[in-house]
Amino acid sequence: MENLTFVYCSCKVIWTLLITILGYSSSLPVGDDSICAAEELAKYSIIFTGKWSQTAFPKQYPLYRPPAQWSSLLGVTHSSDYSMWKKNEYASNGVRDFAEKGEAWVLMKEIEEAGEKIQSVHGIFSAPAIPSGTGQTSTELEVHSRHPLVSFVVRIVPSPDWFVGIDSLNLCAGDHWMEEVSVDLFPYDAGTDSGFTFSSPNFATIPQDTVTEITCSSPSHPANSFYYPKLKILPPIAQVTMVKLKKNQLGLPLSHFNLQAKSNEIIDSISETPLDCEVSQWSSWGLCRGSCGKTGTKIRTRFVLLHPANDGTPCPDLDEETGCEPDNCI
């Protein structure tokens, strides 16, 4: 009888341990190789800096209707169970609406539903829009030891469906939170609109394509607003910096943290992208004019498609003349 009691007690202890372990593991992010052992909560200031200047990106730079600018920033802190967007995967309906029109309602509903369903979301954060291509916007965010990842999107305005952002950046480094992180940002295509230029009309991509990074050579088409074939890599179009707040800094304005100001002049001086002149094909030759018995002349013309900028290759001659035998001589 004593042996049976011992076996029963042993089984009960093992079962209790098993339940405890399973319960703990179910609260951890699935698929995350490194478990965050830092303090439970941490707050960060997030500063988004637009670097979309006419000097760095001279091709088809939008000057009006509307001018170059950035939408509001929409982000989320989460576990690895949730994904706002991923390169080479299909954008959700919410990301599509945000990238194409700057509408956040569907994307926020998707985030809320993911948080309720699998407890993968800790919080949503947002920052105001920037009314020009260069400038800064900021806000604060809170991460949790079980939700240490940060994702966000900012729409490029105007554009067909282009955006910048971060996908699942981990702010936890083992047993501590990172003090400061800066990331250069490059443009992405949401894969839902087929326009090549900033001001392209709405032309849905059917079937939908995956999210892809826009580079200086891809899409490989001269009409592409980011097509700079002489560059090896595009200059960063934006940057994001996240700074961990100390407890005595919470609620203080961001100017208190002595962040480096980035004026338009400083940004423009960093990156000057040369833009070569682009001209059309030659027209057909005009009529040959001249006196009878003498060599006449005929002319063909072309026009400027893209004016040079930042010491790019200047435009060639737009007229060309050659000798000919007059058809209707005088």
The domain spans of the chain are 40-246, 275-329
pLDDT digits (tens, 9 = 90+) for 132-154: 999 999 999 999 999 999 999 99
| Strands ordered across the beta sheet of 162-170 | 121-127, 69-78, 149-157, 162-170, 188-189, 212-213
List pLDDT tens digits, range 100-140.
Answer: 999 999 999 999 998 887 789 999 999 999 999 999 999 99
Residue 289 one-letter amino acid: R
Q: Tell me, what's the pLDDT at 277?
A: 79
pLDDT > 70: percent of the chain: 82
Provide the pLDDT for residue 171: 97
Reported as a single tens digit per residue, the pLDDT across 153-188 is 999 999 999 999 999 999 999 999 999 999 999 999
Q: pLDDT per residue over 211-220, tens digit each?
A: 999 999 998 8
Place 193 in a pLDDT band, splitting at 50, 70 and 90: very high
**C-alpha–C-alpha distance, residues 65 and 157, integer Å:** 10
283 to 154, 223, 286, 311: CA distances (angstroms): 43, 20, 9, 28
Instruction: Mention the CATH class of domain 40-246.
Output: mainly beta
- DSSP 3-state assignment of 96? helix
Neighbours of 166 (CB within 10 A): 20
Which amino acid makes up residue 68?
A
Is 50 exceeded by the pLDDT of residue 265? no
Sequence-separated (6 or more) residues with CB below 8 Å from residue 273:
55, 56, 57, 58, 228, 231, 235, 310
R_g of the chain, CA atoms, integer Å: 29
State the CATH class of domain 275-329. mainly beta
